[in-house]
Structure formats: C-alpha cells, structure tokens
C-alpha cells in the first residue's frame, strides 16, 4: 500500500487559513484606522467651520459658504493623509471622497444623505447610531451598512434635520418636518431604554400628483378614476381611510388636485405633508405648548379654517376630538371636505369616528353621533398596502357610499360598497348609490349607471 503524506496538505490548509485571517485582520485594522481618522478630522473641521460660519449659514449654506468650508477641510484632509502615509499607515480613502463625507456630515445628513437623496427610499429607521434600516419601494426592508460614529453624531444630525429644535432629557422627543417634506420622529432617554436614540424618517414620496397618475400606477381602475373625479367636481365630502403607510396622503393630494382651479383650500395638519398644486392654498399646522406660548391643536385649527372663507377644508389626518369640529363644519354647509384616518375597512370608519368623537369628553347619545357622521360625509375610499414579493404596493380595495341619516337602519349607519376588490381587482359591485346620484345631480354632475356598469 503506497504511503500517503497527509501532513503537507494539512499544513498548507493551516497556512492558507492563517493568511486569510491575517488579510481579514489587516482590512479590519485599515477600516478602524480610516474611521478613527474621519472622526478626528470631523471634530477639527467642525470646530474651525463653527468659528467662521454662523449657525444659519451652516443650516442653509450658500455656494459661497460651502466653498469656504471646503477651503477649510481640504488642507486638513491632505495633511492628515500625508502624515498617515509617512507613519506607514494604510490609507485607502481618496481625499475627494473624505472631503465629501465630511461636508455631508457637517452640512448634510451624514451617512443618511444617500438614502435621503434616493427617491425609492420610503423610510429610514435608526435604532441607535450603528443599526440603520431602510424601506425601499421596490426591495422592501433592508439593513444598511451605514454607521454613525457615535450617538452624539446621530443626535447632532437629528437636531440639524429638525432645524435646531432641542432634543434633551427635558425634551426627549422631536416630531418635525424636514426641509424636503420628510417627517422626522426621534426619541432619547428616558423614553427609549435599549438604545441611546431612536430615529424614524418617513419620506414623503409624492409618487402621484393626479388621479391619472394613480391609474397609471394601478392604484385605481379607469372607471374608479372617472367616478372619483365626478365626486370631487360635485363637492362630495370624502374620507380616505387605510392602515399605516397605505398611501392615504398621496391619494388625498391626487384627489385635491382634481378640484377647480379657483377653489380656496385651507389645509389643517400636524406635520405639513399635503402638497396641493392650486393657486389659492393656505396650510395650517399645529403647535405644541411651549414656555409663554399656548398650543394649537387640530381642533383649534379647524375652527380657524372656518373663518378663512374656505371652499374646501382638508384635514391631514383625524386622530382625536377634532372630528367634532370637522363633522360640525361638514353639517353646516362646508362641502368638498377631505380627510384621512386610520381604519380597517369602509365600515370601520363609522366606529373610528365615534371613538374619536367621544374623546372630546362630552356626553352625546351614540345615535346622535352616528346621525352627524351619516350627514357629514358621503363617500369612503379605502386603501390597502400589499407586499408583492418583497415590494410594497398600494391599491384601492373599496369605495363606499355612506347613506344619509334618514336612511339609517335603526341606530346603524348604512355603508354600502360601490366598488370593491374581492381578490380579482377593483370592480363595480352592482350597487347604484341613488342618494349620492341625487346629490350630484343637484350640483350639476350627473352620475351614469352605464358608467359604473362598464367596470363590472
């Protein structure tokens, strides 16, 4: 039997593994050196720039301001890299790339900048400085390799995003609108305990400006699009309902843009997100209570809106007792209203209205509340977010008529689907909304049964 030397291959395997481990160690060390160098350069550059530029210039820099900053950063970077090479350190970062990253971290939003510049990113989630996720429109939820150097850097970035608003133990929460319209939410201790800071950025991706855009995206069918245009032209009061991230705000934008050019819009929101491309638009936003300044809630702003001679009042999202004022306005001749709210179906909208109404703390019989709801809004549009593969898509799955109070069945509001998606696409159910048709007819927008039947 021939002798087989197994020792040599075994030694070769050990040597190859050791070499691979050494290479991996060298790469890790190089990355650590690069990160340490970036941290030191960032501290020095920030100190020098603060000495030459005002906070307003750093928050909203002009071309001249960025040139001044680059003139400060460039020699610092070149000198640091030259010294590193002289000391035998591994330098793998190009000067231009390092300068750009430092500029982003001082004037931009640091490692989040690429995701904020990508219009396919719907949300950015930071569970502390080292654990960053995104929700991509096509690829779904992804963990990124982006890292902040520490919690302090992430905190500074959040304060810059929030345009200087304080985030501290005495004020541990920020809910703000960023310059690009994105919605920023951040909390620190004591509201969060497992990470030093938790940040969620909800991007406002206005993917549909018109109902035609929604049809093109497959959110609605051509028949539903034509029907909804008629409702807007006929100044029907509309509720856009759905779950979180189901596309309610985008849909409301598209609906509002189907209105007359001469209509005066007064928009009421917690955080400005609605973008109506009409000439006469006033946007009102809430304010938290601050020292020597009273708060203004959605309910307060609805009352202010009534005094501004609106043709249409748009409520960004109904969450609480403001629905009392919204329903009152809708029942006193303020037609063409639109609002969004969270609900699980068209019929669930009535219960959600009731719950929010009772949050006002006033004693009103349930039947009386339901009568107000039935007479205030005529149509509910329900949207659903569906994952196809790993990509989220939004569809209208129900469009329903709310029958007026005189047609209630006992103490129950009648909600009947006109269009619904039972698994094979949005289609006409066969129910003709005669009460809605009568109202549209009075307003010069005749509703044709033949049109609805086309989609059956």
Average pLDDT of the chain to the nearest whole number: 85
pLDDT digits (tens, 9 = 90+) for 138-192: 888 999 999 988 898 898 888 888 876 788 888 899 888 787 778 899 999 999 9
Check residue 103 and give its pLDDT: 82
Q: Measured between alpha carbons, how far is residue 258 from residues 219, 229, 251, 272, 314 in Å?
A: 16, 6, 11, 20, 14
Give whichever of 237-241, 243-247, 359-363 has the largest mean pLDDT. 237-241
Listed residue (22, 72, 26, 29) closest to 48, CA to CA: 72
More confident residue, 366 or 87: 366
As beta bridge partners, residue 290 has 293
Query: Which residues are bridge partners to 143 per DSSP?
Result: 133
State yes or no: pLDDT of 3 exceeds 80: no
pLDDT in tens, 273-324: 788 989 999 999 887 766 556 788 888 999 999 999 999 999 988 888 899 9
Question: What is the distance between the alpha carbons of residues 385 and 398, in angstroms, rounded to a whole number?
Answer: 13
The helix/strand/coil state of 102 is helix
Bond prior to 357 in cis (omega within 30° of 0) = no
| 245 vs 409, higher pLDDT | 409
User: Does the structure show a pLDDT above 70 at 440?
Assistant: yes
Task: Please report which helix (H) or strand (E) contains residue 142, including its range.
Answer: strand 140-143
Q: What is the DSSP string of 237-279?
A: -EEEEESTTSSHHHHHHHHHTTS-TTPPEEEEESS------SS
Confidence of residue 42 (pLDDT cuts 50, 70, 90): confident
> Is the pLDDT reported for residue 95 higher than 60?
yes
Could you state, in order of their start, the residue ranges of all structural domains in the chain? 28-103, 110-204, 211-453
Q: How far is it, in rounded angstroms, from Cα 163 to Cα 184?
A: 11
Residue 232 has pLDDT above 90, yes or no: yes
What's the pLDDT score for residue 290?
Answer: 60
The answer to whether residues 198 and 148 touch, using CB atoms and an 8 Å cutoff, is no
- pLDDT of the residue at 386: 86
When pLDDT is cut at 50, 70 and 90, the band that residue 33 belongs to is low
167 Cβ partners below 8 Å, 6+ apart?
155, 158, 159, 173, 174, 186, 188
Residues 6+ apart with CB under 8 A from 358: 369
Give the span between the Cα atoms of 403 and 415, in whole angstroms. 6
Model confidence at 20: pLDDT above 60: no
- pLDDT for the residue 353: 95
CA–CA distance from 107 to each of 1, 102, 148, 304 (Å)? 75, 8, 15, 37
Report CA torsion sign: 141, 203, 191, 341: negative
- Asked if the model's pLDDT at residue 31 lies above 90, the reply is no
Angle at 416 between CA 412 and CA 421, to 5 degrees: 135
CA distance 157 to 190: 20
Q: What is the mean pLDDT of residues 202-231?
A: 88
Q: What is the pLDDT, as a whole number, of residue 423? A: 79
pLDDT value, residue 25: 41
In three-state secondary structure terms, 79 is helix
> Alpha-carbon distance 423 to 407, whole Å?
30
The angle at the Cα of 67, spanning 61 to 72, to the nearest 5 degrees, equals 105
The pLDDT-based confidence of 9 (bands split at 50, 70, 90) is: very low
Q: In 10 A of CB 164, how many CB atoms?
A: 10
Beta-sheet strand order (sheet of 238-242): 281-285, 265-269, 312-315, 338-342, 238-242, 379-388, 391-402, 415-421, 426-428
Is there a common fold for 110-204 and 211-453?
no
Decide: residue 77, CB within 10 A, 0-12 exposed, 13-18 middle, 19+ buried: buried
Q: Domain 211-453 is of which CATH architecture?
A: 3-Layer(aba) Sandwich (3.40)
- pTM exceeding the 0.75 threshold for the entire prediction: no
pLDDT for res 425 = 86
314-337: pLDDT as tens digits: 998 888 889 999 999 999 889 999
According to the per-residue pLDDT averaged within each range, which of 24-28, 59-63, 390-394 is highest?
A: 390-394
Distance CA 383, CA 333 (A): 27
More confident position, 2 or 264: 264
Residue 76 has a CB neighbour count (10 Å cut-off) of 18
Closest-CA residue to 317 (of 277, 375, 269): 269
Query: Would you give the DSSP letter of residue 61?
Result: -
Reduced to 3 states (helix: H, G, I; strand: E, B; else coil), residue 198 is: strand
10 Å CB burial of residue 305 (0-12, 13-18, 19+) is buried
Q: Which two tokens stand for residue 67?
A: 């040139």
Rounded to an integer, the average pLDDT of 52-79 is 84
Looking at domain 110-204, its CATH class is alpha beta
- Look at residue 260 and tell me whether its pLDDT is greater than 50: yes
Looking at residues 115-132, what average pLDDT do you find? 93
């Amino acid at each position: 039997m021939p002798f087989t030397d197994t020792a040599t291959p075994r030694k070769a395997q050990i040597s190859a593994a050791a070499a691979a481990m050494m290479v991996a160690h060298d790469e890790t060390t190089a990355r650590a050196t690069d990160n340490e160098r970036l941290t030191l350069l960032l501290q020095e550059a920030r100190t020098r720039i603060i000495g030459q530029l005002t906070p307003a210039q750093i928050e909203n820099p002009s071309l001249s301001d960025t040139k001044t900053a680059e003139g400060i950063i460039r020699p610092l970077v070149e000198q640091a890299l030259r010294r590193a090479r002289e000391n035998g350190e591994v330098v793998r970062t190009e000067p231009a790339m390092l300068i750009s990253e430092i500029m982003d971290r001082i004037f931009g939003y640091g490692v989040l900048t690429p995701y904020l510049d990508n219009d396919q990113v719907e949300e950015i989630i930071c569970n502390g400085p080292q654990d960053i996720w995104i929700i991509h429109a096509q690829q779904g939820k992804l963990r990124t390799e982006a890292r902040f150097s520490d919690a302090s850097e992430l905190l500074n970035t959040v304060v810059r995003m929030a345009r200087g608003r304080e985030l501290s133990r005495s004020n541990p929460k920020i809910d703000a609108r960023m310059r690009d319209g994105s919605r920023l939410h951040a909390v620190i201790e004591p509201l969060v305990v497992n990470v030093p800071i938790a940040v969620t950025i909800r991007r406002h991706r206005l993917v549909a400006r018109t109902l035609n855009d929604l049809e093109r995206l497959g959110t609605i069918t051509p028949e539903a699009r034509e029907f909804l245009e008629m409702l807007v032209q006929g100044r029907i009061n509309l509720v856009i309902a759905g779950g979180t991230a189901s596309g309610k705000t985008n849909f409301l934008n598209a609906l509002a843009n189907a209105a007359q050019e001469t209509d005066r819009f007064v928009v009421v929101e917690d955080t400005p997100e609605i973008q109506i491309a009409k000439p006469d638009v006033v946007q009102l936003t809430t304010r938290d209570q601050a020292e020597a300044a009273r708060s203004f809630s959605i309910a307060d702003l609805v009352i202010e809106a009534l005094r501004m001679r609106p043709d249409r009042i748009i409520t960004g999202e109904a969450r609480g007792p403001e629905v009392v004022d919204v329903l009152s306005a809708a029942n006193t001749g303020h037609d063409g209203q639109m609002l969004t709210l969270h609900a699980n179906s068209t019929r669930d909208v009535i219960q959600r209205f009731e719950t929010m109404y009772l949050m006002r703390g006033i004693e009103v019989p349930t039947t009386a509340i339901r009568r107000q709801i039935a007479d205030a809004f005529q149509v509910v549009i329900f949207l659903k977010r569906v994952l196809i593969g790993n990509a989220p898509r939004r569809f209208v799955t129900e469009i329903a008529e709310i029958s007026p109070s005189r047609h209630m069945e006992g103490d129950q509001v009648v909600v009947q689907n006109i269009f619904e998606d039972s698994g094979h696409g949005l289609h006409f159910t066969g129910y003709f909304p005669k009460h809605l048709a009568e109202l549209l007819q009075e307003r010069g927008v005749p509703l044709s049964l033949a049109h609805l039947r086309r989609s059956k």
